Amino acid sequence: MISLTARVRSACRHRWAKTVLFVICLGPLAFWLRGIALDDLGANPAEALIRSSGDWTLRALCLALAVTPLRVMAQAPELARFRRMLGLFTFFYVLLHLIFYAWFDMGWDVADISADIVKRPFILVGFAAAVGLSFLAATSFNGAIRWMGAKRWQVLHKGVYAIAALGLLHFFWMRAAKTNFTEVAVYAAILGVLMGWRVWRLFRKRS
């Protein structure tokens, strides 16, 4: 009998695996488009879209950061194939998050947007995280690694840990208005475990 891990590993190696993941990752977008078409996004559709796109950015980021720990622990090197796509979907959803905010909340008013970024620290932090992600997305293709040199590329892409911290702070600050931290705690715990594993491995290698 073939073990479950082996089956999952072989599924990951399937030539359609990436396509299937790509389609799954478009799920939230499809859900919003359906909601817009059917006017089914509740009393405040603008708020629903802005919040939901933020949620999915955090979720995609958690998934992208989970790839390496899973790959090492499950000894499944084929998982590495999905890391870039998950990272790029994180950027895709943060881009939609920014567009929804600038369009539905600010009506593309540049003066209002800049005033808002200065006025609200949580917007500033979120904006900084999105800018950070855009650098990683811009250097995500294979050529960028050659062009930058693997060492420098790695240093830049380690920046994703700082970006995750900023994203979490952005979410925490936003929820601070209602002192409602349950979901923030869940994301903090997930990201904490993913970071903790990396720190633990670093120390184990050294000793």
Partner 1 sequence: MKNHSNNKGFLHPYPHEITPQSVYQDRRNVLRQLAMGAAGVAASGWASRQALAQTGKPGVLAELASVPSGVAGAMSLDKVTAYKDASSYNNFYEFGYDKSDPVRLAHTLQTTPWTVEVEGLVKRPAKYTLEDLLKLSPMEERIYRLRCVEGWSMVIPWVGYSLAELIRKVEPTGNAKYVEFVTQADAKTMPGIRSGSLDWPYVEGLRLDEAMHPLTLLSFGMYGEILPKQNGAPVRLVVPWKYGFKSGKSLVKIRFVEKMPVTAWAKAAAQEYGFYSNVNPLVDHPRWSQASERRIGEEGGLLAKKRKTLMFNGYEAQVGQLYAGMDLKKFF
- CB 42 to partner 1: min, Å: 6
The answer to whether 90 and 64 have CB atoms below 8 angstroms apart is: yes
Is residue 185 a contact residue for partner 1 (CB under 8 A)? no
Q: Which residue of 6, 30, 33, 36 would you call a contact of partner 1, by CB under 8 A?
A: 36
Is residue 179 a contact residue for partner 1 (CB under 8 A)? yes
How many residues make contact with partner 1 (CB under 8 A)?
Answer: 21
Q: Looking at beta carbons only, is 32 or 82 nearer to partner 1?
A: 32
- CB 43 to partner 1: min, Å: 3
Is residue 154 a contact residue for partner 1 (CB under 8 A)? no
Residues 60-79 touching partner 1, rule: CB under 8 A, are: none
Is residue 178 a contact residue for partner 1 (CB under 8 A)? yes
Please say whether the dihedral angle defined by the alpha carbons of residues 66, 67, 72 and 75, taken in this order, is positive or negative. positive
Site string for partner 1, 106-135 (x = CB under 8 A): -x-------xx--xx-x-------------
Is residue 180 a contact residue for partner 1 (CB under 8 A)? yes
Q: Looking at beta carbons only, is 103 or 141 nearer to partner 1?
A: 103
Report the interface residues with partner 1, using CB under 8 A: 36, 39, 42-47, 49, 103-104, 107, 115-116, 119-120, 122, 177-180
